[in-house]
Chains A and B, each alone.
Chain A
Amino acid sequence: MHRFANPARFLKIVRPLTAWLFWPGLILLLVGAGCGLFVTPADYLQGDTVRILYIHVPAAWLGMGGWTGIAVAALMQLVWRHPLAAVAGRAIAMPGAFFTAVCLVTGSIWGRPTWGTWWEWDGRMTSMLVLFFLYLGYIALANASARQGNGGVSPVTAIFGLVGAINLPIINRSVVWWNSLHQGPSITLRGSSIDNALLWPLGFTLIGFTLLFAAIVLMRMRAILAQNKIEARMQRLARG
């Protein structure tokens, strides 16, 4: 990992990588969403609302995956002092918060016709809402430490990112630990309880959204690194 610690070497790799992730991601996403909307059959019980699955599940995956990324970056920053880890943590926060919000909103829209309610204070929904608030706190802390001039996040923000990861297994196990309107785990390592006729477009949207997420994170990392360069040069010019 320390091979990529040099921002110049990192940028040489990510400049072409950003487009390679973005465009295939967009194509996969559009194919998956198109098939999910117009090719797969309606569910025998839920009807057409089951089609929300193809955006809700990837959003949940990226909301949780984003915080996993923040926790890994925090660990790399605190333990190995990797110079790009702080930048990565800050770059992940905004898209992670966005996809957590998408998960909450699409879940709420799906809940109204399926459960008869927009919201229920049960374990899954509440722990996901807590994740969203954790993201907001992390973004506020990261912006405050960025103003101090290092471009990334402060060690305190990194510790917050690491401690916040305790919420991830709670989200994952919430439907097992507590009674919930939300269905139990339907996709596990042992297989899926969703019929293949409905399941297959989910692979497209899951990979598509993940590639787009990665591209967005790289764009934000590039913006932060360029901003760091600008600030360093401005300081040098000011000093004469």
Chain B
Amino acid sequence: MNQWAFVIGAYALTFSGTAVISILSWRAMRSAEARARQLADRA
């Protein structure tokens, strides 16, 4: 197999995984903070 196939595979896995964990963390933070704000406004 071409050496670049290994390099591209490693980079693709790392960058897609990093993007997924960043987006999931950001979404969890945004939704939790929005809900906390909503509840604070209601109280």
Residues of A within 8 A of B (CB): 22, 33, 37, 47-49, 51-52, 55-56, 59, 94-95, 98, 101-102, 105-106, 109-110, 112-113, 209, 212, 215-216, 219-220, 222-224, 226-227, 229-230, 233-234, 236-237
| Chain B residues near A33 (CB-CB < 8 A) | 11, 15
A212 contacts B29, CB within 8 Å? no
B4 contacts A48, CB within 8 Å? yes
Across the interface, B10 reaches (CB within 8 A) one of A55, A212, A226, namely: A55
Across the interface, B6 reaches (CB within 8 A) one of A113, A216, A234, namely: A113
**Beyond A105-B13, A230-B32, 11 additional pairs, beta carbon < 8 A:** A33-B15, A49-B3, A49-B7, A56-B10, A98-B21, A113-B1, A212-B22, A215-B22, A219-B28, A226-B35, A237-B39
B4 contacts A233, CB within 8 Å? no
26 intermolecular pairs with C-beta atoms under 8 Å apart: A33-B15, A37-B11, A48-B4, A94-B21, A98-B17, A98-B18, A109-B6, A109-B9, A109-B13, A113-B1, A209-B18, A212-B22, A219-B26, A219-B29, A220-B29, A222-B29, A222-B32, A223-B28, A224-B32, A226-B29, A227-B32, A229-B39, A230-B36, A233-B36, A233-B40, A234-B39
